[in-house]
Chains A and B, each alone.
Chain A
């Protein structure tokens, strides 16, 4: 193995590079990254915006680190073609990088809404976080009655926005497509628990909103709902999910469904070509089906796993990944394969006024859990999922 090329410098790609260097001092490692920052933590961006950590603490690596590790990092570069037969990738600079092994760690793309006057905010990366901080500073200088925000969406990033606006005492309206928060993931009971928490904290929630319009020419002035309701806003925080890039990889010859398809070893159909993190759809032996996970822990551990495989330690990828968030301090933990539509069976373990614990099952085995307000069973459920061993058909 002479040349390893890694596409994507996020946590998956950087973990692959870091681990590979530990295992092989000689191999040439090239890391191609579209952004222009060293590795940073997307998970800590909310803390950063709220001023709980300084900007420099958001960064997990420095440019010197790549140099010291002899990782040839190419920032602000896109990939234009991947040739898995002749074994090279072509960059936006017109360079051709030959590879013996290739790791695709390209992450996912943000879902966006059209028409974006200034004040419409996304929270994907550090540049977005910097912009949000500037927006909040401007809003806080306006008259009190103009200090208003709207959050569009009811999932992970929407919770971040809600917590951020609450932190800065900016009253906010929340616009949901379904009848509750994260309606395609959460049970009705879980949605009720979150709704209660949200209302107790003064949020105005607008449910079943199928269409809306962003109002404002240069700067955002508010959001107009289909029923005519106008929600004034100086900032609109949008958190409506992400999706992996598909068409580009299909054109390069990969099998792509929800993500680039791999087996339980994270191998694509081409020899020594791997896909990891958000861009991969891998066979999860703990869940019993092919899954796409978009969480930090999964990306990091998959990056590390393929580095081992490239260094000669090939093994089945097994991880019970999870992520965690909160709404006004109400803890939420999501474990395993959380596709409700794909669950064979769901079971409520606890359903009280302020807690909701539910598990998903396949073949009688637990494959996922959603814990809200009571996370005490997390370790026990995780241990149970870890015992699963489904075979690929």
Chain B
């Protein structure tokens, strides 16, 4: 399945809990903001938003990473564009 993952750079304070939990999906940039990567790879320009193909297990971990954000800077959408986190 596909997930669209979006980090709001205005909310991100660089706590990096998402990176700690889901290091294949999130990475910190030089401005100390989280960015979204695809299975450890930053194909194309660095970006705070990406749609990636994930397994059920990967989805669960990415959701944990998003939920760990103390400023709710990470939003997750499913294939139909429905926001699944924050619900």
- Give residues in A with beta carbon < 8 Å to B: 11, 41-44, 47, 52-53, 57, 60, 296-297, 300-301, 319-320, 322-326, 331, 333, 375-376, 378-379
Contact = CB atoms under 8 A, between A and B. Distances in A.
The 7 A-B pairs with the shortest beta carbon distances in the complex, nearest first, are A43-B70, A324-B14, A331-B32, A44-B71, A375-B32, A297-B17, A296-B70
Given A331-B31, A378-B28, A41 B71 contact: yes
Contact of B15 (A53, A301, A323): A323
B11 to A, nearest CB: 7
A297 B68 contact: yes
B72 interface: yes
B30 interface: yes
A43 B68 contact: no
B45 to A, nearest CB: 18
Given A331-B31, A375-B30, A44 B72 contact: yes
Given A52-B10, A379-B27, A322 B70 contact: no
Given A53-B11, A53-B71, A324-B13, 17 more contacts: A41-B71, A43-B70, A52-B11, A53-B72, A57-B72, A57-B86, A296-B17, A296-B70, A297-B20, A319-B20, A324-B14, A324-B16, A325-B13, A331-B14, A331-B32, A375-B32, A379-B27
A320 B48 CA distance: 24
Contacts of B16: 297, 322, 324, 333, 378
22 contacts: A41-B70, A41-B72, A42-B70, A43-B15, A52-B10, A52-B11, A53-B11, A57-B86, A60-B72, A296-B15, A296-B70, A320-B20, A322-B15, A324-B16, A325-B13, A333-B14, A375-B14, A375-B28, A375-B30, A376-B30, A379-B19, A379-B28
Interface residues of B, number: 19
A40 B20 CA distance: 21
A324 B68 CA distance: 15
Contacts of A325: 13
B17 A324 contact: no
Interface in B1-35: 10-11, 13-17, 19-20, 27-28, 30-32
Contacts of A322: 15-16
Contact of B71 (A43, A301, A319, A320): A43
Contacts of B72: 41, 44, 53, 57, 60
Interface of B: 10-11, 13-17, 19-20, 27-28, 30-32, 68, 70-72, 86
Contacts of A43: 13, 15, 70-71
A300 B11 contact: no
B68 to A, nearest CB: 6
Contacts of B31: 331
A331 B27 CA distance: 16
Contacts of B32: 324, 331, 333, 375, 378
B28 A300 contact: no
B26 to A, nearest CB: 11
A178 to B, nearest CB: 25
Nearest to A371: B32
Contacts of A323: 15
Nearest to B12: A324
Contacts of A53: 11, 71-72
Contacts of B70: 11, 41-44, 296
Contacts of B10: 52
